[in-house]
Amino acid sequence: MTFGYRTVNDTAKCPKDYLHVDEVITIQKRETEKKIYIPIVDDNEWEPDLDFFVELYDPGKINNISGLPEKLNGDDTKCMITILDDDFPGSLGFAETDIVISKNAEKVSIKIVRLEGADGTISCMIRTENLSETQNPSNAEEYEDYVPKYEKVEFYQGETEKVIEISLVSKKTPQLDSKMIDDHKEEQESSEEPCDVIFKVKLEKPEPSEVKISKKKTCMVTILKSEDDEKYEEDR
């Protein structure tokens, strides 16, 4: 008896997920089985489990419309194959959720870590945010204290950590004394003590959908505004 077998795409696609096979074979008298092999393509990317079919066909019976041989009749002439994914893309979070930095620093470095798997390319968005929406003396101000950031952070296959930098706006006390600045300074000093300011950095929108953001999804950055300038100069 002579028949053909061939693969048919479903959610699994050829040649991304498996290699197409189409062959005509003859089964001999007294032979009761034949084994066929279909190469499966392994990758490192997370994806859902995917299906494709293998069907048996009659090489002598060509379908007029498709021009291809027709599938053999019967319910048992088509077999579904499911490719189970074996890749773990991991989860993303900050290494530290609290960072304290000098007001004279030009930037703050923040580490993002990838845990529980490092297969394939994944990403998330990083976003800076004010401490609170309302008026708050502890609010760090965009462009006055820090440069806001909203960008995609990508982790490639096998990468488990990434350091991102956020620029700070340092307002050093002018060294030269002009009367105007002195007057202004006095005025400021009398009205209010400098207060440490804080802004938030958040992780969001992980991709692909299997990637989770860990509990460490917000990092609070405190800029030490109350730090003594002269002491800092001496320490250096």
**Beta strand 50-62 with 69-71: parallel, antiparallel or unpaired?**
antiparallel
Question: How far apart, in whole angstroms, are the C-alpha atoms of residue 28 and residue 12?
Answer: 33
Nearer to Ca ion, 86 or 161 (CB): 86
Q: Name the minimum Å distance from CB 47 to Ca ion.
A: 5
116 binds Ca ion (CB under 5 A): no
d(CA 99, CA 108): 9
| Single-letter amino acid, residue 19 | L
**CB of residue 79 to Ca ion, shortest distance in Å:** 22
- Please, which residue, 16 or 61, has the CB nearer to Ca ion? 16
Is the CB of 43 or the CB of 227 nearer to Ca ion? Answer: 43
- Contacting residue, 42, 76, 187, 235, with Ca ion by CB under 5 A: 42
CA dist list (Å): 29 to 1, 36, 201: 8, 18, 72
Among 10, 55, 70, 85, binds Ca ion (CB under 5 A): 85
| Rounded distance between C-alpha atoms, residue 92 and residue 215, angstroms | 9
| Two tokens, residue 12 | 């699994």
Tell me which residue has its CB nearest to Ca ion.
87
Burial class of residue 224, CB neighbours in 10 A (0-12, 13-18, 19+):
middle
CA–CA distance, 56 with 204 (Å, rounded to integer): 48
Q: Is the dihedral of CA 102, 130, 127, 143 positive or negative?
A: negative
Candidates 22, 49, 86, 161: give the one binding Ca ion (CB under 5 A).
Answer: 86
**Min CB(20)–Ca ion separation in Å:** 19
Only one of the segments 28-36, 82-90, 110-118, 216-224 lies at the binding site for Ca ion (rule: CB under 5 A); that segment is: 82-90
Nearer to Ca ion by Cβ, of 70 and 87: the residue is 87
129 binds Ca ion (CB under 5 A): no
Task: Work out how close the CB of 214 gets to Ca ion at its nearest, in angstroms, rounded to a whole number.
Answer: 22
Q: Measured between alpha carbons, how far is 46 from 87 in angstroms, rounded to an integer?
A: 5
Contact pick of 10, 43, 70, 207 for Ca ion (by CB under 5 A): 43
Judged by the rule CB under 5 A, the positions of this chain that interact with Ca ion are 42-43, 85-87
